[in-house]
Amino acid sequence: MTAAAEDRSLKGAVDVLRRNNVTVSGNPSGPVVMFAHGFGCSQETWNLVAPRFEADHCVVVFDHVGSGRSDWSMYDRGKYSALDGYARDVEEILATLEAEDVVFVGHSVSAMIGVLAADLNPGRYRGLVLVSPSPRYINDDGYVGGFEPADIDALLDSLDANYLGWSRQTAPMIMGTPERPMLEERLTDGFCSVDPEIARHFARVTFTSDNRRDLESVRVPTLVLQCREDAIAPMDVGRYVHAAIPGSRFEILETTGHVPILSAPDDVALHLRRFLS
Amino acid sequence: MSVPAVDGWFRLAPCGLIATADDSTILEANDTFLAWSGYDRAGLLGRPLVALLDPGSRLFFETRHRQVLHLRGAVHEVALTIRRADGAELPVLLNAVRDSDGVVRFAIFNATDRVRYERDLLAARRAAEQSEQRVRVLQEVSTMFGVSATDAELAQSFADVARDAFSARETAVLLTRDDGQLQLTGGSNPLEGKVAPVRELRQTAEVTVVHDDDTEYSELSAAMRDEGIGSLSVTPLIADGERLGVLVCFFAGHAEVDDHFLDLQQALGRQASQTLVRVRLQRRLALLALHDQLTGVANRQLLQVSLDDALTLAATSLEPLAVLFLDVDDFKGINDAFGHAAGDSVLVELASRLRGGVRAGDIVGRMGGDEFVALCPGADPSAAETIAQRILEVCREPIAVADGVVTASVSVGISLFQPGSDPQPTAQHLLVRADVAMYDAKRAGKDRAQLSTP
């Protein structure tokens, strides 16, 4: 990113950067790597991976609207009722930063958000890294996503059970500051904080999404990183993504679970560095 | 009394205790947990904890709590559902801490009763929220609209309320034009020009939902897929059997069509229709109150307001303003010869000819009786003279009435305000001067125009 672009972004387009709590670090003249978090957390989930690229890259991290320290008042249920709303935000952030030749690294649902963003403006990207991606979580004819529609309802029940006390109506009463409800619903921790209503909506949108058809239109070099025994995005789903994206690479990480960026940051960073060079 | 052995505290603690490796493999579990879950020790150790969770809990735990555990080192009061060995559900609350080696220790509490109670509570709250939303939405489309609201403003407001209420990506309000066609009046239509209008949908009598994978309207569904619209809903706006238009909601994903959705769409459509009818009626009444009921031209009140406005405009724009005062010649004679009904129709016809005789933008009004006034902004003396001559001409044409043909004429008095050379007159002053000039025209022989001398 040029100094002029940085200057412009400070003046003209603060809104987008503030809306998404965008943090730019590392080498401003280095190639741009953007890290995007998945459902359930915020940019902090990249804490063990992103800083390793600051020496030679311009590192961009951000929070999706409704997550972390983004501007929650910008949460527009209509816009974010499909993943393309989030993809448009990614494009706006990169356009504001005047970032070109970007490598987009997306975890979980953000992998698909990256696919959609690259479809909006393929020329902006040098590569896509999809960490634990799933284009569709619900099983379909001839496709095993791993879940049934009833499971997604159960997830929403699970969210309800966890956020019972924190509905829009009761939170301000409990915290005793009804005039600043948005602030109080974040509770105290900032990162990984949730607004129950937004979390519920984001969960529904994420886990009922079907972006299988978008995979074949990817024209950007793509790396798929897959864990063993991922209960959310199983191995076969990762292979499906790899097979559907023309010319993509597929790497299996030596870790289990859905969050290799925290459980195996060394491994993720290694593959990422190889891909970047 | 002796202190219980520490081993007993672990095995027989009044809560389930388990430890897992970083990859969620169960390393140890106490007797309490084994008893609650119904697993034996050998069957449990070495299995991943997530395999014990029901799918909803697994989704939530793996996508959220695993990240929080890593970043914060602990999670508190997490509500999950464990699948017991016999397949039954065991709702639990758990705390967990993760140490630097990645070992996670869980304390698990049976929450069966609490969860049942909370579910009832939640269901009650959801119902309350839905009915609160219904009331709020209906209020939003029916209040705050004064007489001045245009159809476009109303339509935009309906579109905004619906977009918010249904979390739609876009909404469109299409209102029926005089020729019966629907026209986009508020909101936006992402499918405009992308697909031919579907007649059945535009004329639907019920709330109708179309998904992008429906086969019934294949062209529409294809266009929806191209535009990234998962579903759309069409709600008719009908009041007293009259088709006012439709409300269309465009959804990014597949819309969840349940009873609450349909009920709210229906109620919103009904309320919006009634509001539209009410505001249109008020607007019509307001119009009537400012117009002459016989001839339809401006009445004295509206003329007064318009003259004030025209004077202000003339003063600020430095453009001249002409006021023409017209009186029908021998109107009493017409009434006497043909009757009052014929007299009325002569007035109606002359008013219509006056409107045709002035320029676009000029205002014609009836002062009362057989007196009319025309306000002509921007008209200098020669333009005013031209207008007056045209009026004289059109008024001379014979007028057909019930019992024959009337030939009428008018006398016209003209007063002028020319900013820059004239002092600023009052509205009253301009009218009086035009009136005096009109009498001069009468005295000079009628059927002519007379310019006022300042």
B71·A262 Cβ contact <8 A: yes
Start-to-end CA distance of chain B, whole Å, equals 122
Decide which of A98 and A166 is more confident: A98
Q: How large is the average pLDDT for residues A257-267?
A: 92
Give per-residue pLDDT as tens, B368-414: 999 999 999 999 999 999 999 999 999 999 999 888 899 999 999 99
Interface list for B 96-155 with A (CB within 8 A): 115, 118-119, 121-122, 125, 129
Q: What is the CATH number of the domain that holds A108?
A: 3.40.50.1820
In this prediction, residue B372 carries a pLDDT of 97
β B26-29/A125-131 pair status: unpaired
Confirm whether A187 is domain-assigned. Answer: no
For chain B, what are the domain ranges?
A: 6-110, 131-288, 300-451
Other C-beta atoms within 10 Å of B87: how many? 7
Report ipTM (2 d.p.): 0.80
Give per-residue pLDDT as tens, A46-91: 999 999 999 999 999 999 999 988 998 899 989 999 999 999 999 9
How far apart (Å, rounded) are the C-alpha atoms in residues A252 and A254?
7
B23·A41 Cβ contact <8 A: no
Which amino acid is residue A246, in one-letter code?
P
* Shortest Cα distance, chain B CAs vs residue A142, angstroms: 17
pLDDT at B168 > cutoff 90? yes
pLDDT band at A245, cuts 50/70/90?
very high
Q: How large is the average pLDDT for residues B443-447?
A: 94
Q: How many alpha carbons lie under 13 Å from residue B105 in its C-beta half-sphere?
A: 8
Contacts of B55 in chain A (CB under 8 A): 147-148, 151, 154-155
pLDDT band at A170, cuts 50/70/90?
very low
Q: What are phi and psi of B375, to 5 degrees?
A: -105, 125
Decide which of B454 and A133 is more confident: A133
CB B208 within 8 A of CB B201: yes
Q: The tokens of B239 are what?
A: 């009041």
Q: How large is the average pLDDT for residues B7-32?
A: 92
Hey, CA dihedral for A37, B79, A235, A80, is it positive or negative? negative
pLDDT at B148 > cutoff 80? no
Q: What are phi and psi of A107, to 5 degrees?
A: -100, 135
Contacts of B121 in chain A (CB under 8 A): 164
In this prediction, residue A167 carries a pLDDT of 41
Tally of structural domains, chain A: 1
* Shortest Cα distance, chain B CAs vs residue A6, angstroms: 31
Low-confidence winner among A46-50, A150-154, B42-46, B101-105 (lowest mean pLDDT): A150-154
Contacts of B59 in chain A (CB under 8 A): 137, 147, 151-152, 154-155, 158, 203, 207, 232
* Superfamily for the B300-451 domain: Reverse transcriptase/Diguanylate cyclase domain (3.30.70.270)
* Superfamily for the B131-288 domain: GAF domain (3.30.450.40)
Going by C-alpha positions, the residue among B239, B271, B285 that lies closest to residue B157 is B271
CATH topology of domain B6-110: Beta-Lactamase (3.30.450)
Confirm whether A152 is domain-assigned. Answer: no
How far apart (Å, rounded) are the C-alpha atoms in residues B246 and B201?
9
A232·B81 Cβ contact <8 A: no
Interface list for B 222-241 with A (CB within 8 A): 228, 230
A257·B118 Cβ contact <8 A: no
Hey, CA dihedral for A119, A120, A123, A126, is it positive or negative? negative
Going by C-alpha positions, the residue among A43, A88, A89, A79 that lies closest to residue A62 is A43
Give per-residue pLDDT as tens, B293-339: 899 999 998 899 899 989 988 988 899 999 999 999 999 999 999 99
A154·B56 Cβ contact <8 A: yes
Confirm whether A106 is domain-assigned. Answer: yes
Contacts of B64 in chain A (CB under 8 A): 39-41, 192
B62·A231 Cβ contact <8 A: yes
Is there a common fold for B6-110 and B131-288?
A: yes
pLDDT band at B144, cuts 50/70/90?
low
Among the partner-chain residues B51, B56, B63, the one whose CB lies closest to the CB of A157 is B56
Q: What share of chain A is helix, strand, coil (3-state, %, to 5)?
A: 45, 15, 35
In this prediction, residue B1 carries a pLDDT of 56
Give per-residue pLDDT as tens, A125-141: 999 999 999 999 999 99
CB B232 within 8 A of CB B174: no
Confirm whether A199 is domain-assigned. Answer: no
In this prediction, residue B26 carries a pLDDT of 96
Neighbouring residues of B366: CB distance < 8 A, sequence distance ≥ 6 = B292, B294, B295, B297, B298, B299, B300, B347, B351, B372, B373
Which amino acid is residue B439, in one-letter code?
Y
Q: How many residues are present in chain B?
A: 454
Average pLDDT over all residues of chain A: 85
pLDDT band at B119, cuts 50/70/90?
confident
DSSP at A99 = -
How far apart (Å, rounded) are the C-alpha atoms in residues B444 and B439?
8
* Shortest Cα distance, chain B CAs vs residue A277, angstroms: 29
In this prediction, residue A8 carries a pLDDT of 44
Confirm whether A78 is domain-assigned. Answer: yes
Contacts of A257 in chain B (CB under 8 A): 23-24, 50, 62, 66
In this prediction, residue B116 carries a pLDDT of 79
B59·A45 Cβ contact <8 A: no
Residue ranges with strand state E in B10-127? 16-20, 26-29, 74-83, 89-98, 104-110
Q: What are phi and psi of B373, to 5 degrees?
A: -130, 140
Substitution target in A45, A107, A112, A157 with the highest count of B β-carbons within 10 Å is A157
pLDDT band at B287, cuts 50/70/90?
confident
A158·B79 Cβ contact <8 A: yes
- What percent of chain A clears pLDDT 70, i.e. is strictly above it? 84
Going by C-alpha positions, the residue among B184, B188, B215, B220 that lies closest to residue B201 is B220
B170·A207 Cβ contact <8 A: no
Confirm whether A54 is domain-assigned. Answer: yes
Among the partner-chain residues A77, A154, A262, the one whose CB lies closest to the CB of B55 is A154
In this prediction, residue A164 carries a pLDDT of 61
Contacts of A40 in chain B (CB under 8 A): 60, 63-65, 67-68
Please name the helix (run of DSSP H) or strand (run of DSSP E) that holds residue B210, with its range, or none.
Answer: strand B208-211
pLDDT band at B140, cuts 50/70/90?
confident
In this prediction, residue A182 carries a pLDDT of 43
* Max intra-chain CA distance, chain B: 133
How far apart (Å, rounded) are the C-alpha atoms in residues B178 and B192?
21
Give per-residue pLDDT as tens, A208-237: 999 999 999 999 999 999 999 898 999 999
Which are the catalytic amino acids of A?
108, 230, 258
C-alpha dist (Å) from residue B108 to B13, B91, B180 = 10, 10, 67
pTM of the model: 0.70
Q: How large is the average pLDDT for residues A89-100?
A: 96
Confirm whether A128 is domain-assigned. Answer: yes
pLDDT at A185 > cutoff 60? no
Confirm whether A193 is domain-assigned. Answer: no
